[in-house]
C-alpha cells in the first residue's frame, strides 16, 4: 500500500544555528530531486547511496532559498523505515518556513503532529511504549525522567511485557488444545498447576504497578500545595524553592490573593508547586474566592506543605487549616521564622495536630535565612521514594495509560485465580487469561484501536 510523502520542520521554530526539515515516504527522493541543486552539479540525490551527506542549495524554481546540507537515508534503515531526507539549513524561522513551503509545493504534504513516530510504530520499528517514550524524552523534567525514558526507548518495557504475555499465551494455548483434543491432552490437576503460574504472573504485574507510583510522580512531578494563614511565610518559601522572586513578599497579610504556580526541580525531584492565598476569615469577595480555591487545591494535592509562623501563637485560622488537611494526606508542617523567638514549638503544634488525630513530620525552617530546605528534600524522598531516588535496570512504568492497562490485566488475572478456587470450568480460565493478554498487549500496541493510536500521537510535537 502506497503511503503519502510527508514533511515538517523538525526543530524548534526559533532563530538558531541550524534548522532541520524532515521528509519521509516513498517519494522522498523524487521530492528532493525537484528542489535540490548540488554545489558541484553532480548526480541527483535519487542516485545517491544511503546514509550520505550532500552539500548544495534548496531552490524554488530558479530562486535559491538557502545553502544546505542534505542527508539521504534509504528504507528500511531509517527512523520511519521509509525513505527519508533531512535538510540541514540555516536556523532562521523564515528560511525554515520557505524551505518547507518549497518542499510541499513539490509533492509532499504537511505532516501531522507525531506522524513520523506514528509511522515508525506502524512500520514495526518501535512498539507503542517506545513511541510514548520519545515524547517523554523530549519533555523530561529531571535526570530520572530522562534516564527512564531512554530505558523505555531501548525496549525495556516491551521486553518485560512480552515475557509476561508469553507465559500467559502458553497457558491459553494449552487450555484450548486440551479442550479441542481431550482424548490426548488431559486437564487433570491442571487448576492447581495454573494457580501457581498465575500467582507468579500476578506478582510480576504487581511489581510493575508498584513502580508506576514512583514512575508517574518522578516523570510528571508531585503536585505540592503550600498552605498557611496570611503572612506565615508561604510566598517567601516559594521564592526560596524557585530560586527567584516569583511571589510578592510584604509584611501586609493577604498579599497573595490568588494561587501562584511554578514547577521546580528540588535535587532531582520535580515539584508542581502552588502557593495559595492565606486561609483566614476573608475580608472581601476577592479574598473569599482565593481561599475557596486553596481548599480545592488542597483536596487534589499529592503533598501539602503547611507553613506555620512560629513567632506567633496558633489561632483559629491554624485550627481551620489542620481540619482541612484530611487524614492520610502526605504533608509536612514547617515551623517558619526559626530565626526569631519561637512561640510555637514542635510540641505545641503536635498537641494541636493530635486534636485532629493527625501526625505528620514537623521541620523548623527559616525562609529568610534559607535554612531547613535540605531537611525538606530528604523528607520528600522518605515520604514518596522510601528515602532514595535511584535508577538501575528495574523497569519503571511512567505512563498513566500503561498503568491503567496493567491494573485491568491484574483484575483479569485475579478472576482466573477466583475461578480456579471456585472450581469453574477451564473455559473461564481461558476467557480471563485472554483478557489479561490483550490488556498487556495494549501497552506495547499489539491490541489497540486506531482511535487510541491517533489520540496518543496527536499529543506529539510537530516534526517528531
pLDDT tens digits along 331-386: 899 998 888 888 888 888 888 888 878 888 999 988 888 888 889 888 888 887 76
Higher pLDDT, 290 or 54: 54
- For residue 222 the three cell numbers come to 508531585
Nearest Cα to Cα of residue 11 among 20, 2, 3, 1: 20
Cα separation, 163 vs 289, in Å, equals 53
Strand order in the sheet with 84-91: 36-38, 52-60, 63-73, 84-91, 16-24, 6-9, 109-110
- For residue 106 the three cell numbers come to 513539490
Burial class (CB in 10 A: 0-12, 13-18, 19+), 197: middle
pLDDT at 46 over 80: yes
In this prediction, residue 12 carries a pLDDT of 87
User: Per DSSP, which regions of 310-430 are E strands?
Assistant: 331-336, 362-364
Cα separation, 306 vs 312, in Å, equals 15
* 424 Cβ contact partners less than 8 Å away, ≥ 6 residues apart: none
Higher pLDDT, 274 or 141: 274
- For residue 13 the three cell numbers come to 521554530
In this prediction, residue 393 carries a pLDDT of 60
Nearest Cα to Cα of residue 237 among 321, 315, 291, 308: 308
Mean pLDDT in residue range 309-314? 88
Q: Of the spans 101-110, 224-233, 244-253, 269-278, which averages the highest pLDDT? A: 101-110
Burial class (CB in 10 A: 0-12, 13-18, 19+), 464: buried
- For residue 228 the three cell numbers come to 498557611
304 DSSP β-pair partners: 225, 331
Q: Of the spans 93-97, 244-248, 282-286, 342-346, which averages the highest pLDDT? A: 93-97
Given this structure, which CATH class describes domain 221-385?
A: alpha beta
Cα separation, 270 vs 390, in Å, equals 15
- Read off the pLDDT of residues 157-200 as tens digits, 9 standing for 90 and up: 999 999 999 999 999 998 988 888 887 888 888 888 999 999 99
What pTM was computed for the model? 0.72
Strand order in the sheet with 260-266: 260-266, 269-275, 222-227, 303-309, 331-336, 362-364
- Read off the pLDDT of residues 62-82 as tens digits, 9 standing for 90 and up: 999 999 999 999 999 999 999
Cα separation, 36 vs 436, in Å, equals 52
In this prediction, residue 322 carries a pLDDT of 83
| Cis bond upstream, residue 76 (ω within 30) | yes
The distance between the two most distant Cα atoms of the chain, rounded to a whole number of Å, is: 87
Cα separation, 135 vs 117, in Å, equals 10
In this prediction, residue 416 carries a pLDDT of 94
- For residue 263 the three cell numbers come to 514547577
Query: Under CATH, domain 132-216+399-458 is a member of which superfamily?
Result: tRNA modification GTPase MnmE domain 2 (1.20.120.430)
In this prediction, residue 255 carries a pLDDT of 44
To which residue does cell 500500500 refer?
Answer: 1
Given this structure, which CATH class describes domain 6-111?
A: alpha beta
In this prediction, residue 329 carries a pLDDT of 75
- For residue 462 the three cell numbers come to 510537530
Percent of the chain past pLDDT 70, that is, above it, reads: 90
- Read off the pLDDT of residues 22-37 as tens digits, 9 standing for 90 and up: 999 999 999 999 999 9
**DSSP per residue over 77-92, as a string?**
SSSSSS-EEEEEEEE-
Cα separation, 152 vs 463, in Å, equals 21
pLDDT at 435 over 60: yes
Domain ranges within the chain, ordered by starting residue: 6-111, 132-216+399-458, 221-385
CA-based torsion, 43, 49, 54, 60: positive or negative: positive
DSSP helix/strand/coil, 73: strand
Are 44 and 31 in contact by the 8 Å Cβ rule? The answer is no
Amino acid at each position: 500500500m502506497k503511503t503519502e510523502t510527508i514533511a515538517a520542520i523538525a526543530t524548534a521554530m526559533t532563530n538558531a544555528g541550524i534548522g532541520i526539515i524532515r521528509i519521509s515516504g516513498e517519494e522522498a527522493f523524487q521530492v528532493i530531486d525537484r528542489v535540490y541543486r548540488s554545489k558541484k552539479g553532480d548526480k541527483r540525490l535519487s542516485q545517491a547511496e544511503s546514509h550520505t551527506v550532500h552539500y548544495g542549495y534548496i531552490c524554488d524554481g530558479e530562486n535559491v532559498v538557502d545553502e544546505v546540507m542534505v542527508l539521504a537515508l534509504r528504507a528500511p534503515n531509517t527512523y520511519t523505515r521509509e525513505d527519508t531526507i533531512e535538510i540541514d539549513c540555516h536556523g532562521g524561522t523564515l528560511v525554515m518556513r520557505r524551505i518547507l513551503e518549497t518542499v510541499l509545493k513539490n509533492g509532499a504534504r504537511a505532516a501531522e503532529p507525531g506522524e513520523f513516530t506514528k509511522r515508525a510504530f506502524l512500520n514495526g520499528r518501535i512498539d507503542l511504549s517506545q513511541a510514548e517514550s520519545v515524547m517523554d524524552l523530549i519533555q523530561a523534567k529531571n535526570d530520572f525522567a530522562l534516564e527512564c525514558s531512554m530505558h523505555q526507548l531501548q525496549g525495556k518495557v516491551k521486553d518485560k511485557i512480552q515475557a509476561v504475555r508469553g507465559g500467559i499465551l502458553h497457558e491459553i494455548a494449552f487450555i484450548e488444545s486440551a479442550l479441542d483434543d481431550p482424548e490426548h491432552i488431559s486437564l487433570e490437576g491442571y487448576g492447581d498447576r495454573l494457580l501457581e503460574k498465575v500467582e507468579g504472573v500476578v506478582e510480576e504485574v504487581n511489581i510493575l504497578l508498584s513502580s508506576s507510583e514512583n514512575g508517574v510522580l518522578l516523570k510528571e512531578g508531585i503536585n505540592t500545595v503550600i498552605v498557611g494563614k496570611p503572612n506565615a511565610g508561604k510566598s517567601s518559601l516559594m521564592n526560596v524553592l524557585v530560586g527567584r522572586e516569583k511571589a510578592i513578599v510584604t509584611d501586609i497579610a493577604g498579599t497573595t490573593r490568588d494561587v501562584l504556580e511554578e514547577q521546580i526541580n528540588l535535587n532531582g525531584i520535580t515539584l508542581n508547586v502552588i502557593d495559595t492565598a492565606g486561609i483566614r476569615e476573608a475580608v472581601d469577595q476577592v479574598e473569599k474566592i482565593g481561599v475557596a480555591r486553596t481548599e480545592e487545591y488542597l483536596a487534589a494535592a499529592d503533598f501539602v506543605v503547611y507553613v506555620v509562623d512560629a513567632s506567633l501563637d496558633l489561632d483559629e485560622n491554624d485550627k481551620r487549616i489542620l481540619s482541612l488537611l484530611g487524614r492520610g494526606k502526605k504533608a509536612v508542617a514547617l515551623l517558619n521564622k526559626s530565626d526569631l523567638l519561637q512561640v510555637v514549638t514542635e510540641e505545641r503544634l503536635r498537641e494541636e495536630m493530635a486534636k485532629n488525630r493527625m501526625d505528620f513530620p514537623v521541620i523548623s525552617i527559616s525562609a529568610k535565612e534559607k535554612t531547613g530546605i535540605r531537611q525538606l528534600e530528604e523528607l520528600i524522598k522518605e515520604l514518596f521514594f522510601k528515602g532514595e531516588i535511584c535508577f538501575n535496570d528495574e523497569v519503571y512504568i511512567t505512563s498513566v495509560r500503561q498503568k491503567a492497562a496493567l491494573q485491568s490485566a491484574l483484575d483479569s488475572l485475579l478472576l482466573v485465580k477466583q475461578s480456579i478456587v471456585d472450581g469453574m470450568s477451564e473455559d473461564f480460565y481461558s476467557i480471563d487469561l485472554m483478557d489479561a493478554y490483550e490488556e498487556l498487549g495494549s501497552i506495547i500496541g499489539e491490541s489497540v484501536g486506531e482511535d487510541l493510536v491517533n489520540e496518543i500521537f496527536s499529543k506529539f510535537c510537530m516534526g517528531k
